[in-house]
Amino acid sequence: NLPEQEKGFQHKIDAEVRIEPKDWMPEKYRHTLIRQISQHAHSEIVGMLPEGNWISRAPTLKRKQILLAKVQDEAGHGLYLYSAAETLGISRDEMIEQLHSGKAKYSSIFNYPTLTWADMGAIGWLVDGAAIMNQVPLCRTSYGPYSRAMIRICKEESFHQRQGFDILYTLCQGSPEQKAMAQDAINRWWWPSLMMFGPHDSESLHSEQSMQWKIKRFSNDELRQRFVDMIAEQAKVLDLTLPDPDLEWNEERMHYDFGKINWEEFWNVISGNGPCNKQRLDARRKAWEEGAWVREAAAAHAKKQHPNPPK
Ligand code: FAQ
């Protein structure tokens, strides 16, 4: 009966036993995971667009190769994550439909434009930096396929962050114009990157239940604070200023205090009204439509190879 099954399920979670696809799980656990993993996958795929914009304009051949590899990594992350979500009983077509119809979200951060080359540095340093802070704990998330996918993803994200830092470091050692370009990128990306961690804990719909199920290991505000503490120190090495007059080390809390986030902007962006939301979704829908013949050809080829696939 249900309450007994639920109790057994929670015992397993409490004992740090991973939940696997064929194990019994509450329907709400399954739904929460489908929501989070598919939104994470969509973020990786939509996240290719702002950087893809600079592949043809990278300043050197080496920078171009690195950026190309990074964007390809993001495609790979999206694909592992879609596969992890499929183990929960949703098809890839359904997930894509949810993205294209606006039902499923993707990270707010990818609705901002990439105006200069320094934005590639800012995305690597801040956006991948925030992604790592949020995703390292997900390597221990309670659902087995998700936790295993996150291990490789995090290794690649660490390289991404280093390459972003390296772009900014190089610009900061360059001409005054290059340094100013780096500072301008940080001014524009800092606050949106803090929003990646989601609303304050008091406004977070899903945190409490997700923490009880150990899908999330830390709250949105805890991870955001860790991120601020890390970046405030690294900014000193770059000699760049974070655009927050209230940012200050608090000896008592042993953390940096920081200013107020513009939540109105956050809710606007996640409800579809950010600067690039329309452009991003149009690009994804177009790619999906234009890729139809590739999917059909791949399916026809697979059928020829295995006319009677095992059930
Ligand atoms: N953007 O109750 P909570 C990357 C939504 S990957 C958009 O706190 P939850 C790699 C939330 O979905 C970046 N929506 O939700 C890369 C919910 O709406 P719903 C993506 C947001 O799930 C780097 C509502 O607000 N990473 O960057 C955002 O417990 C560079 C209430 O929020 C992941 O997805 C937001 N920022 O906590 C690629 C990591 N925040 O679903 C290319 C996995 C909140 O009810 C270049 N996800 N919402 O309609 C998570 O850890 C969690 O889902 C959170 C949100 C922490 C994002």
Q: Tell me: the pLDDT tens digits for 3-49? A: 889 999 999 999 999 999 999 999 999 999 999 999 999 999 999 99
- Nearest protein Cα to ligand 1, atom 28: 198
- Confidence label for 310 from pLDDT (cuts 50, 70 and 90): confident
Radius of gyration of the chain measured on its C-alpha atoms: 21
User: Residue 128, CB half-sphere, CA atoms under 13 Å: how many?
Assistant: 27
Q: Which atom, in ligand 1's list, is nearest to the CA of 199?
A: 8
Gap between the Cα atoms of 85 and 117, Å rounded: 34
From the alpha carbon of 36, which atom of ligand 1 is closest? 53
Q: pTM here?
A: 0.96
Asked if 125 and 234 touch (Cβ cutoff 8 Å), the reply is yes
Q: Which of the listed residues 32, 37, 43 should we mutate to test ligand 1's pocket, taking the one with most ligand atoms within 8 A of CB? A: 43
- Could you tell me which of 34, 25, 31 has the C-alpha nearest to residue 95? 34
Residue with CA nearest ligand 1 atom 23: 128
CB 6 within 8 A of CB 188: no
ipTM surpasses 0.95: yes
Q: Which residue has the tokens 């707010």?
A: 108
Q: What is the pLDDT of residues 159-197, one digit of tens each?
A: 999 999 999 999 999 999 999 999 999 999 999 999 999
Rounded distance from Cα 74 to ligand 1 centre (Å): 16
- Torsions phi, psi of 44, nearest 5? -65, -40
Please give the DSSP secondary-structure letter assigned to residue 87: T
Cβ–ligand 1 distance for 133 under 6 Å, the answer no
Q: Is the pLDDT of residue 265 over 80?
A: yes
The helix/strand/coil state of 249 is strand
123 CB-contact burial (10 Å; exposed 0-12 / middle 13-18 / buried 19+): buried
Q: Does the Cβ of 150 fall within 6 Å of ligand 1?
A: no
Distances (CA, A) of 264 to 52, 130, 199: 28, 21, 11
